[in-house]
Amino acid sequence: MSLSLPASATSEGGSSDSSSDIDTTASAASGAAANSDDASPDTDDFKRPCIVQVVDSPSLVEGPADVTYPSWSAWNEYLKAYSVKSRQVIRIQSTLSCVLRNKRLGQTAAAKQGMDVPYVPETWGAYQRTYICTHGWPAKDRSSGLRTKHFVRGCGCPFRFVVQLVQVDGLCCLRVKNGVYQHNHAVGTAQFKTYPEKP
């Protein structure tokens, strides 16, 4: 599957040694979900039937292009094209702001000892965003229980990836990381047409 990239997206040539993640701690990805700006869903909805059919064999898809993006707007432009081309509805699960990222870095032992720590420029707004399939989490049940809710969208789809602020050759940019590019339900044009919302 071939996707055209926005003019602002820059392919990274050479080995991975030329890029250096701003994030040097192992807790960045897990911390984003635990302390994100977005609320996590209730898992009780797994007990209800899903509006999509779970398949026995995973539906494999091609992930986003392995390039760097100079801004969140450039990434959002590409994500919209990728979602339509691959017939997927992708949502933001959690966001970690640059302010919170820097606050955590300031609380590390290295920072307290006066050592240099890789603070990120807060002008970027978001340091990291985690993306999932629209079926990756059950919707939070806000009903009073007076009416029976027969269907929910979530079916625990494993598709996910992280977009994180990194540093390449001394310049800040965005990169896709930690991807799981498979769904536990059918993905295609027929299914894509049934979604009321589009990317």
Task: Give tens-digit pLDDT for 1-33.
Answer: 545 555 555 544 444 444 444 444 334 433 444
Q: What is the Cα–Cα distance from 127 to 98, expressed in whole angstroms? A: 5
User: Taking the model in full, what pTM does it have?
Assistant: 0.71
φ and ψ of 128, to 5 deg: -150, 140
- Give the per-residue pLDDT at 67: 96
- Give the per-residue pLDDT at 50: 62
CB 89 within 8 A of CB 197: yes
**What is the arithmetic mean of pLDDT over 91-113?**
94
Among residues 23, 38, 48, the alpha carbon closest in space to that of 141 is found at 48
Mean pLDDT, the chain, integer: 78
- Give the per-residue pLDDT at 38: 46
Q: Is the pLDDT of residue 90 over 90?
A: yes
**What does the block give as tokens for 186?**
């059918």
